[in-house]
Structure 1
Amino acid sequence: MTTTPNAKKVLIVDDDTRNIFALSLTLRSKGYACLSSTDAVKAIDMIQQDDSIGVVLMDMMMPEMDGYEALGRIRGNKQIQDIPVFAVTAQAMPGDREKCLEAGANAYISKPVNVDLLIDLLNTYL
C-alpha cells in the first residue's frame, strides 16, 4: 500500500524516541504517513500549522506537559478541538482507560501497542 498525496498524516507524540521509531516504522510499512514530536507543546503547534494531520497518537506520561494537559489544550482550542487523539500509554491499571477518555481522548491504547487494534482505529478515524 502506498500513501496518496492527500493522505492524512499520523502525528506520534512521545518523549521516548524509541517508541516513535517503532510506531513510525510499523505505520509506514502499512502505508501511513507519519510525523513525530517528543514534546507536547511542539505537537500542538504542529497540529495548528498542518491541517493534513488526521490523528494524534499521544503518550500520556511526558515531562514538561503530559498528555492529559495536552488533551485539555487541544480540546479547548476551537481550531483543533475535533482532531482525533488516541491515548497511547504504558499505564494499564484499572481506571486508566477511563481517565484518558474523560480527559478527551477518542481511544485508549496500552503499550506495548497492539498493531492490529491501532490499524483498526486508524481506519475508523482516517
Structure 2
Amino acid sequence: MLESEPVDVLVPDVGMSEMDGYELIRRVRGIARFANLPAIAATGFARDDDARAAMEAGFSAHIGKPVLIEQLAEVIDEVMRVQHESS
C-alpha cells in the first residue's frame, strides 16, 4: 500500500496478527524513500519500556490505546513538525 498510495504518516497497531508493528517499521525503514516517514506506534502496551522499544524499532512516536482523537491529532502534528524541521 505504501508503494501505491501517498502517505503522510503511518499509524500501525503494534499488535497486528501476521506481522507485528516492530517488524513492519523495520521493513518500512529499509525502503530508502520511507526512511523518514513519520510513524506512530499505536498500542495497548503503554509502559515506558514499550515506548522505548517502539522508538528503538524506528517509530517516530508511541501512543497508548485507547486514544482520544485529540491526542492522536496532537501526536501527528508533533511528528509532522519534527519531520518538516529536519528536512
TM over 0.5: yes
2:31 is matched with 77
Give the structure with the higher percent helix.
2
Alignment RMSD, CA only?
Answer: 1.5
- The yes-or-no answer on 1:117 pairing with 2:71 is yes
**Which has the bigger relative contact order, CA under 8 A and spacing at least 6?**
2
- The yes-or-no answer on 1:49 pairing with 2:19 is no
5+ unaligned residues in a row in structure 2: which ranges?
82-87
Give the structure with the higher percent strand.
1
Q: How does 1:1-126 map to 2 (within 5 A)?
A: 46-50=1-5, 52-124=6-78, 125=80
Query: How high is the TM-score relative to the length of structure 2?
Result: 0.82
Deviation at 1:115, TM superposition (A): 2.4
1:11 is matched with none
5+ unaligned residues in a row in structure 1: which ranges?
1-45
Deviation at 1:83, TM superposition (A): 1.0
Runs (4 or more) in structure 1 with deviation over 4 Å come to: none
Cα deviation code 1:59-97 (max 9, x no counterpart): 001111110000100111112222111000001234000
Task: Tell me which structure has the larger Cα radius of gyration.
Answer: 1
Aligned residues: 80
Alpha-carbon distance between aligned partners in 1 of 2:49 and 2:61, rounded to the nearest angstrom: 14
Alpha-carbon distance between aligned partners in 1 of 2:10 and 2:18, rounded to the nearest angstrom: 18
